[in-house]
Amino acid sequence: MNDSETPPFEVHDREVLAKARSIIGETESPRMWAQAVIDAVKFDRDVAGLPEKEATVIRLARALFRDHKVSPELWGKTVEFFGRQGAVEIVATMGDYVMAGFMLTAVDQQLPPDRKPLLPPRR
């Protein structure tokens, strides 16, 4: 594996934000990304107009968590951007956050009473 195949840290953060919307919710805080990328995930908006790399990660997360399958075209695009190892690491990181979300759900983790939710209510 070379450095060009390893996804940058901010890619892992985008997948965290994508998954945070559906599993982890308010227990994660996003880092600094383009506001349009954050809003696409936070408000479940279309990814049209976002940079293709960011849009691909969001599409991948949505395919995995909503459709429970990834098309060969989407997987190919992910590998094209991040390399095979990088794409696998992105999916593995998403899986780690699913596991964390299950643990938080199992213990009924809630925000502290004085903390305002950062995400809109789920639909």
What is the DSSP secondary structure assignment for residue 117, as one 8-state letter? P
d(CA 37, CA 41): 7
For residue 118, being part of any structural domain is answered with: no
For residue 85, being part of any structural domain is answered with: yes
For residue 43, being part of any structural domain is answered with: yes
Domain range enclosing 78: 9-106
For residue 119, being part of any structural domain is answered with: no
For residue 65, being part of any structural domain is answered with: yes
Domains identified in the chain, total number = 1
For residue 115, being part of any structural domain is answered with: no
SS (H, E, C) 20-70: HHHHHHHHCCCCCCCHHHHHHHHCCCCCCCCCHHHHHHHHHHHHHHHHCCC
The one-digit pLDDT tens for each residue of the chain (123 residues) are 444 544 444 455 555 555 545 443 344 444 445 788 888 988 899 999 888 999 999 999 999 999 999 999 999 999 999 999 999 999 999 999 889 889 988 999 888 999 988 888 876
Q: What angle do CA 8, 34, 70 make, to 5 degrees?
A: 60
d(CA 19, CA 115): 21
For residue 120, being part of any structural domain is answered with: no
For residue 112, being part of any structural domain is answered with: no
